[in-house]
C-alpha cells in the first residue's frame, strides 16, 4: 500500500504494538503486576508517613524488573531508549538529552532574572472561593473551547485526568483544592485539551490501533496549549475576567485584569512538580530524567536516592525538601514501574509552543478571536493538523510535518521570555 495511506499506517502501528507485546513473556508481566501493585501500596504508605525506607525495597524490585524488561528487546544505543520508546515512539535518550541541554541553561537564567525582580501579589487567589461556582465556571470554559459535552462529562476525582471509552465518550475529572481554588479552572482547561484531542480523532480509526493520541508528549502539548498558551494568556482573560469577577465579586474586588493575569502567572521555585509554574516546571522533569537514566545505568543506588534528590533540587531550583514526602516520594510513577515517562511532560510543553508559533502564522488574528471568546478557528486548526491523525504518524514526524522542524526548545524559550519580560519587567 501507499506508505502514506491509512492502511499502511495501520499495519505499521499494529505490527509495532504486536512485536513489543510478544517480546515480553507472560510470566514477567504477571510478576511485574504483582510487584508494582505491592509497590504502589508501599509508596502510598511511605508518602503519608514521609518515610522512604518503607518504599525502598519495593523500588529496588521495580527497578530490577525494569532493567530485565530492557533485555527482552534488541540492544539500543542506550538502554533507556527502550523505556522511552514505550511512551514516545521513535524518541532516543540522546535526542531528549540534547534538547534538555539546550533548554536548561536558558530556563535557569530566566528564573534567576525573575527572582531578582519584585514578586507579584497573588494573595487574592488563595481566599475562599465557592467550589460549586468554580466548578460551573470551569465547565463553561470547556464548553466555549469546544469540548463536546454531548460526547463527554466532568466528574469529581482525587486527581484530574482524561479517559477515553470511545470517540463518542471522552470524559474528564476535576478536583477542588481549598488552598489553591483556581486550580479547578486550569485543570479543566488542561483535561479538556486532552479530551478535545481524543474527540477529534478520525472516526474511521475507531477500534483500530490508530485511535488515541500519537504519544504522551503530543497529548500533553494539547492539554498545555489550552491550559497555558490560551488559559494563562492576557487575551483569554480579557474575555473571561469580567465574567469571573461577576461570580467572585468580593474575592476579586479591586483587582484589575493585569494584576489578575500576573498573579496566575507567578513564578516561584517550589518543591512539587504538579504545582510548578511554567518557568520552573521543566527543571523538575530534567531532574527526574537524570535520576532515571542513572538508575537504569546502575550508577545510582536506590538507597542514595533521597539524598541525591535533595542535592539536585537545591542545585536546579534552589530549594531543599524538608522531608521525603515533598521530595523523592511525591510522584506516583515509579511505584507503577513507569520509568521513562517524565520527559514527555517537558517535551509536551516544548511542542505546545512550537505549534503555537505555527498557529499564529496561520491564524493572523488569533489573539483578537480569543479576546472575543472565539476558539473555533483554533480548535479547527488543531483538529485538522493534529487530532484527526490519531497514531498515524510518529510524534517527531508529526511535529516535523506540521511545524517544519522536529521537537526543539527555542519556541518555548521565546514564549517564556516574552511572557515573563512583560510580567516581571525584565
Site for Zn ion, rule CB under 5 A = 223
Closer to Zn ion by Cβ: residue 85 or 191: 191
Number of other residues whose CB lies within 10 A of the CB of residue 57: 14
Q: Respond yes or no: is residue 268 known to be catalytic.
A: no
- Find the shortest distance in angstroms from Cβ 220 to Zn ion: 5
Closer to Zn ion by Cβ: residue 223 or 282: 223
Closer to Zn ion by Cβ: residue 58 or 288: 288
Phi, psi of 223 (to 5 degrees): -65, -40
Closer to Zn ion by Cβ: residue 138 or 223: 223
- Find the shortest distance in angstroms from Cβ 215 to Zn ion: 12
- Which residue bears the cell 499506517? 9
CA separation for the pair 387, 196 (Å, rounded):
8
- Dmax over CA atoms of the chain, in Å, equals 64
- Find the shortest distance in angstroms from Cβ 338 to Zn ion: 14
Closest CA to 174 of 229, 129, 226, 135: 135
- Find the shortest distance in angstroms from Cβ 25 to Zn ion: 32
Closer to Zn ion by Cβ: residue 229 or 295: 229
Catalytic one of 88, 162, 191, 227 = 191
Closest CA to 399 of 214, 198, 226, 200: 214
Closest residue to bound Zn ion by CB: 223
b/e per residue 315-326 (b: at least 16 CB within 10 A): ebbebebebbbb
**Planar angle of CA 391, 172, 187, nearest 5 degrees:** 100
In sequence order, which residues have a C-beta less than 8 Å from that of residue 153 and are 6 or more positions away?
171, 172
- Find the shortest distance in angstroms from Cβ 347 to Zn ion: 12
Q: What DSSP string runs through 23-64? A: HS-HHHHHHHHHHHHHHHHHHHHHHHHT-HHHHHHHHHHHHH
Residues with a catalytic annotation lie at 191
Amino acid at each position: 500500500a501507499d506508505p502514506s495511506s491509512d492502511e499502511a499506517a495501520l499495519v505499521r502501528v499494529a505490527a509495532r504494538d504486536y512485536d513489543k507485546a510478544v517480546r515480553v513473556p507472560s510470566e514477567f508481566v504477571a510478576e511485574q503486576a504483582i510487584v508494582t501493585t505491592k509497590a504502589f501500596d508501599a509508596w502510598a504508605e511511605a508518602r503519608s508517613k514521609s518515610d522512604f525506607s518503607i518504599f525502598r525495597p519495593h523500588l529496588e524490585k521495580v527497578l530490577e524488573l525494569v532493567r530485565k524488561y530492557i533485555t527482552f528487546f534488541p540492544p539500543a544505543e542506550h538502554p533507556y531508549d527502550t523505556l522511552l520508546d514505550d511512551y514516545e515512539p521513535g524518541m532516543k535518550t540522546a535526542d531528549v538529552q540534547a534538547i534538555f541541554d539546550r533548554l536548561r541553561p536558558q530556563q535557569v537564567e530566566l528564573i534567576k532574572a525573575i527572582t531578582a525582580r519584585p514578586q507579584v501579589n497573588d494573595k487574592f487567589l488563595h481566599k475562599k472561593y465557592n467550589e460549586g461556582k468554580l466548578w460551573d465556571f470551569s465547565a463553561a470554559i470547556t464548553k466555549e473551547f469546544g469540548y463536546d459535552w454531548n460526547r463527554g462529562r466532568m466528574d469529581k476525582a482525587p486527581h484530574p485526568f482524561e479517559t477515553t471509552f470511545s470517540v463518542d465518550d471522552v470524559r474528564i475529572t476535576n478536583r477542588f483544592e481549598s488552598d489553591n481554588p483556581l486550580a479547578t479552572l486550569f485543570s479543566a482547561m488542561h483535561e479538556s485539551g486532552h479530551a478535545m484531542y481524543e474527540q477529534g480523532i478520525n472516526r474511521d480509526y475507531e477500534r483500530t490501533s490508530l485511535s488515541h493520541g500519537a504519544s504522551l508528549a503530543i497529548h500533553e502539548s494539547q492539554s498545555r496549549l489550552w491550559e497555558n498558551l490560551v488559559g494563562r494568556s492576557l487575551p483569554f482573560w480579557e474575555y473571561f475576567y469580567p465574567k469571573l469577577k461577576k461570580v467572585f465579586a468580593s474575592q476579586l474586588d479591586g483587582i484589575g485584569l493585569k494584576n489578575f493575569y500576573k498573579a496566575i502567572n507567578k513564578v516561584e521555585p517550589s518543591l512539587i512538580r504538579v504545582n510548578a509554574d511554567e518557568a520552573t516546571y521543566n527543571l523538575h522533569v530534567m531532574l527526574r530524567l537524570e535520576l532515571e537514566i542513572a538508575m537504569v545505568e546502575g550508577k545510582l543506588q536506590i538507597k542514595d536516592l533521597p539524598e541525591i534528590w535533595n542535592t539536585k533540587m537545591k542545585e536546579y531550583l534552589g530549594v531543599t525538601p524538608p522531608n521525603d514526602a515533598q521530595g523523592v516520594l511525591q510522584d506516583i510513577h515509579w511505584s507503577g514501574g513507569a520509568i521513562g515517562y517524565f520527559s514527555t511532560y517537558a517535551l509536551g510543553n516544548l511542542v505546545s509552543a512550537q505549534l503555537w508559533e505555527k498557529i499564529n502564522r496561520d491564524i493572523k488574528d488569533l489573539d483578537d478571536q480569543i479576546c472575543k471568546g472565539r476558539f473555533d478557528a483554533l480548535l479547527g486548526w488543531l483538529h485538522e493538523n493534529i487530532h484527526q491523525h490519531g497514531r498515524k504518524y510518529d510524534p517527531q514526524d508529526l511535529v516535523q510535518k506540521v511545524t517544519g522542524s522536529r521537537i526543539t526548545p527555542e519556541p518555548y524559550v521565546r514564549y517564556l521570555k516574552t511572557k515573563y519580560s512583560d510580567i516581571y519587567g525584565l
